[in-house]
Amino acid sequence: MSNLTYEESKSVALRIILLLGAITVVEVIIALLGKGYLVSGFYLPHWLVAGTMIILSFVKAYYIVLEFMHMKYEVPGLVKSVLLPTLLLVWAIIAFMYEGNTWGNKRSLIQNKNKEAIEQVTPSTPVAE
């Protein structure tokens, strides 16, 4: 554990809480600014807003894990045994989303080809007898 006194621990926790609050306020401002709510007619690109949100969320998660889950004070082996599976889970979610998107695109391509084939077989105007 840490060699900090009670007052030092409170000071560190308060500093981390204020930092997390400041990051959250920045996230909210960026989100509102990006959608044009703060400045009428001013929009940020979607990729910039999304990328900034992801980075700031990782920073917040880092500080939460580091201080409030006490990983800062643990041995390196334990830290790696907790964080490595988490990183693998994030990687798996990204990979599954990418794969699902590819599958969905291929499926819609096949459905469009089937629709075209059906339209070629069936006449569009009725044949008079």
Same domain, 81 and 68: no
Same domain, 67 and 97: no
pLDDT along the chain (129 residues), means of 10: 82 94 96 90 91 94 89 86 89 89 83 81 63
Q: What is the pLDDT of residue 125?
A: 60
Same domain, 18 and 61: yes
H or E stretch covering 27: helix 6-34
Q: What is the pLDDT of residue 1?
A: 53
Q: What is the pLDDT of residue 2?
A: 65
Euclidean distance between the first and the last CA atom of the chain, given in angstroms as a whole number = 92
Count the domains in the chain: 2
Q: What is the pLDDT of residue 103?
A: 82
Neighbours of 27 (CB within 10 A): 16
Q: What is the pLDDT of residue 9?
A: 87
